[in-house]
Structure 1
Amino acid sequence: MAGHTAGEPLECYSIPIVLEKEQDIDQQGNPIRDPDGKPRYRCGFRIGGGIDQDPSQSPQGYPDKGVYVTYIHDNSPASRCGLQLHDKILQVNGKDFTLVTHKQAVESIRKKPVLRMLVYRKGVPPLQKQGNPMVGHTQFQAYPHHAPSQQHYAPQHHQYQPQY
């Protein structure tokens, strides 16, 4: 997939990933809490990009203003759920990530203890258009309620229509 223009339909294989965060703890093993008293959770990955970022300034050379996974911590929820470096995040918990700023993406990722994501991964085979009944339709598979660790999902064909 070459560069994508924010707001334009995107036809690609997408991979559903469910990431269950783990509670953040200090060096003594005590749970860390936010100033409001809520437990703080960690997911174990960093992102780059967003519609407010200039892709030509990306050290990774990303082709567009999408939100990409730029780092994955070893032995983290992100590494265990199958998220991979350079995955392009299309959606998190139903929120369209093709039209978010970097700050909005960070806030959405921090919001919930479980992230149900759709990602695009470079290197997935190109779409085969002839005879494929899915072409031209927007259809997302339902997410499982629980994704076992180390389970990898097969790509599914979707025409991703950004949600306004």
Structure 2
Amino acid sequence: MSAATATSPYGHEPGKPFECLSIAVELRKEQFIDDYGQVAYKVGFKIGGGIDQDPTRAPYLYPDTGVYITQIEHGSPAERAGLMQHDKILQVNGTDFTMLTHDKAVKYIKKYPVLHMLVARKEIPMEDAV
């Protein structure tokens, strides 16, 4: 690792490389019919952040402009997949989430019925780390 590579995903400057332990998560959304009779998919989490957001104005004091999970719905696909509130989303289906605006992150998450995610967690048990 070079001196220019950070060792933490927290406080990360977008566009700068970093190395960290991460958790691989496969989230399969639940399919349902919405109020308009259309097929929709339930993921069960909400996000906050993005490179266009000011982290000092957010309800949670995240240290950077990353995309964070701010809420997990009980009994949801997100909870069953092992995601937790305050996980930082590093990657979804191979796309770097450390460089996305909030709107692009939301649209990307909604786009796919299965999400292959890499997330960072403040305290990662070593057996879960990738």
* TM-score normalised by L of structure 1: 0.70
Q: Which residue of 1 aligns with 2:27?
A: 19
Q: Which residue of 1 aligns with 2:83?
A: 83
Aligned AA for 1:70?
T
Identity of aligned residues (%): 54
Q: Which runs of 4+ in 1 moved over 4 A?
A: none
Task: Count the aligned residue pairs.
Answer: 122
Q: Which has the higher helix share?
A: 2
What are the residue-to-residue correspondences of 1:96-115 with 2, within 5 Å?
96-115=96-115
Indicate the RMSD between aligned Cα atoms, in angstroms.
1.9
The 2-side partners of 1:66 and 1:53 are apart by 9
**8 Å contact from structure 1 (residues 71, 85) kept in 2:** yes
Shift of 1:124: 2.7
Q: Deviations over 1:23-42 (max 9, x none)?
A: 13xxxxxx22778x5x1001
| Cα distance change of structure 1 residues 109 and 33 upon mapping to structure 2, 3 Å threshold | farther
Which is greater in Rg? 1
| Cα distance change of structure 1 residues 34 and 20 upon mapping to structure 2, 3 Å threshold | farther
Q: Which residue of 1 aligns with 2:18?
A: 10
The 2-side partners of 1:81 and 1:125 are apart by 16
Aligned AA for 2:129?
P
Aligned AA for 2:128?
A
The 2-side partners of 1:34 and 1:6 are apart by 39
Shift of 1:10: 1.4
What are the residue-to-residue correspondences of 1:14-163 with 2, within 5 Å?
14-24=22-32, 31-32=33-34, 37=38, 39-124=39-124, 154-156=128-130
Shift of 1:58: 1.7
